[in-house]
A = this chain, B = another copy of it.
């Protein structure tokens, strides 16, 4: 019943079609839309907007939490609607437009976008479009499978359009914890002190009169296409679990470890999956997205609680989790990405952070975003929020890509997202390098010996030896440092 979902009665008058809602959007506007890692994005209004733009061209700045599902970024880009986009994306069509210079993409730490909005340092949000599972008696918005930046978008926007998604289960209500940091300079500590801490409201509090339109939708979230573990990801998980067992043996933590964070994607998911067959127990997550592995660990009795900003699952896992959400809810909380990724909370809790590198170099600098130093993949996302303040900052990648044409371990990364100061551990299927407390020359020795693929080991060692003969705290041969990437560009392989 719609009345159970729109519990503030006067808002029933705001029900409109997606086309009518999209007509509120004007050329040049800044739109803040829900959606984080393909979960909980507004789905009907952006499609209507694209449709409209095909007849009557217009351009907007589109802000979201992170990536969108349902090919929305593609549809909007194909309709030439997106002039500017922030703070993250993972769509091939949008990526192409970004790399062609057609869309201005602002690649940001996911915790920072709303700080800049709140202080007026970037253009204000004209309209927020938020997917909701319900609107409370007092007009509070109950988000769906992600919180992302939705709360601040709704609070800061001049108008709010709600997409009420009837396909999302009402059991989502109560899952969210909406806490917004107070304005500076009078800001108080963020009171999250454990992953379980509930410090806010289960809905986004806005004056109901700001809600300009409500559109009913029934579209589902896109399911994640996670690859199953393979030998390489199993090997990476194995190295990492061995490291954590040693941390326990050294008395640095118990078998419940410290709260875990894992970036989105196949490798991180496979690593967490590997925790099922370990002596670890009572694990907790404080992460930005919950993938299949979180629920596998909960089901296996290994994980007791998980905090994040979104839930993104495979089709099978959605079918399993959504009907039982009322049970899982006791183990879960979804927060604004500003809080899930907040440096203050990350540093306080002391997280074990596992993120994926595109490539890393012999000194442990990490490139997470740019293929060949120039072509944007997705964006830095939350990796910087987590890596900088982690108890253990771990980056994982397979040692080679494209059938060996690419080495993920290179003399110098072609783009830096995480400097050596922020990287404690690097892991490939070949092995793990524990870089804590080491100087650059020591880091290089370990990375070359442990992490690089045998096909590239000799060449990398040769580069390093010749670089050392030139001296320096961080030895390099500048005219060769990026030659592997040049060879890839010119000849299709780093082997030259």
Interface residues in chain A, defined as those with a beta carbon under 8 Å from any beta carbon in chain B: 84, 86, 98-101, 104-109, 112, 116, 119-123, 184-191, 193-194, 250-252, 258-259, 342-344, 347-350, 365, 370, 372-376, 380, 384, 388-389, 391, 414-421, 424, 436-439, 441-442, 467-468, 470-476, 478-479, 481-482, 485-486, 489
Nearest residue (CB) in B for A256 is B185
Number of copies: 2
Q: Which residues from chain B contact A376 at a C-beta distance below 8 Å?
A: 472-474
* Structural contact, B375 and A472, CB atoms closer than 8 A: yes
Tell me, in angstroms, the Cα distance from A373 to B123 when the chains sit together: 36
Which of B108, B370, B437, B467 meets A421, CB within 8 Å? Answer: B108
Q: Which residues from chain B contact A372 at a C-beta distance below 8 Å?
A: 472, 478
Tell me, in angstroms, the Cα distance from A420 to B419 when the chains sit together: 12
Question: Shortest distance in angstroms between A455's beta carbon and chain B's nearest beta carbon?
Answer: 22
Q: Which residues from chain B contact A388 at a C-beta distance below 8 Å?
A: 343, 384, 388
Write 11 A-B pairs (CB below 8 A) sorted by A numbering. A104-B442, A107-B473, A119-B350, A119-B391, A122-B436, A187-B349, A344-B347, A374-B467, A375-B471, A376-B472, A482-B482
* Structural contact, B374 and A189, CB atoms closer than 8 A: no
* Structural contact, A258 and B475, CB atoms closer than 8 A: no
Nearest residue (CB) in B for A418 is B419
Q: Which residues from chain B contact A187 at a C-beta distance below 8 Å?
A: 193, 348-350
Question: Shortest distance in angstroms between A125's beta carbon and chain B's nearest beta carbon?
Answer: 13
- With A478-B373, A478-B485 in contact, is A107–B421 under 8 Å at CB? yes
Nearest residue (CB) in B for A109 is B421
Which of B112, B384, B486 meets A478, CB within 8 Å? Answer: B486
9 A-B pairs closest in CB distance: A374-B472, A189-B189, A184-B350, A376-B473, A416-B416, A104-B439, A122-B437, A344-B344, A343-B343
Nearest residue (CB) in B for A193 is B188
Which of B374, B380, B420, B479 meets A474, CB within 8 Å? Answer: B374
* Structural contact, A476 and B374, CB atoms closer than 8 A: yes
Question: Shortest distance in angstroms between A486's beta carbon and chain B's nearest beta carbon?
Answer: 5
Nearest residue (CB) in B for A107 is B421
Tell me, in angstroms, the Cα distance from A145 to B374 when the chains sit together: 47
Q: Which residues from chain B contact A437 at a C-beta distance below 8 Å?
A: 86, 106, 116, 121-123
Tell me, in angstroms, the Cα distance from A415 to B421 when the chains sit together: 12
Tell me, in angstroms, the Cα distance from A475 to B473 when the chains sit together: 29
Tell me, in angstroms, the Cα distance from A267 to B437 when the chains sit together: 31
Question: Shortest distance in angstroms between A427's beta carbon and chain B's nearest beta carbon?
Answer: 17
* Structural contact, A185 and B259, CB atoms closer than 8 A: yes
* Structural contact, B120 and A250, CB atoms closer than 8 A: yes
Tell me, in angstroms, the Cα distance from A482 to B116 when the chains sit together: 33
* Structural contact, B472 and A479, CB atoms closer than 8 A: no
Nearest residue (CB) in B for A284 is B185
Question: Shortest distance in angstroms between A440's beta carbon and chain B's nearest beta carbon?
Answer: 8
Question: Shortest distance in angstroms between A63's beta carbon and chain B's nearest beta carbon?
Answer: 10
Q: Which residues from chain B contact A258 at a C-beta distance below 8 Å?
A: 184-185
Nearest residue (CB) in B for A374 is B472
Q: Which residues from chain B contact A191 at a C-beta distance below 8 Å?
A: 189
- With A109-B421, A415-B474, A473-B370 in contact, is A481–B479 under 8 Å at CB? no
Tell me, in angstroms, the Cα distance from A334 to B478 when the chains sit together: 42
Tell me, in angstroms, the Cα distance from A472 to B415 when the chains sit together: 12
Which of B108, B347, B478 meets A414, CB within 8 Å? Answer: B478
- With A348-B344, A419-B419 in contact, is A106–B184 under 8 Å at CB? no
Question: Shortest distance in angstroms between A31's beta carbon and chain B's nearest beta carbon?
Answer: 15
Which of B101, B186, B418 meets A471, CB within 8 Å? Answer: B101
Tell me, in angstroms, the Cα distance from A391 to B415 when the chains sit together: 25
Q: Which residues from chain B contact A441 at a C-beta distance below 8 Å?
A: 101, 104
Among A185, A186, A421, find the residue whose CB has the most chain B CB atoms closer than 10 A: A185
Q: Which residues from chain B contact A417 at a C-beta distance below 8 Å?
A: 419, 421
Question: Shortest distance in angstroms between A255's beta carbon and chain B's nearest beta carbon?
Answer: 13
Q: Which residues from chain B contact A250 at a C-beta distance below 8 Å?
A: 120
- With A187-B193, A482-B481 in contact, is A120–B252 under 8 Å at CB? yes
Q: Which residues from chain B contact A468 at a C-beta distance below 8 Å?
A: 101
Q: Which residues from chain B contact A475 at a C-beta distance below 8 Å?
A: 374
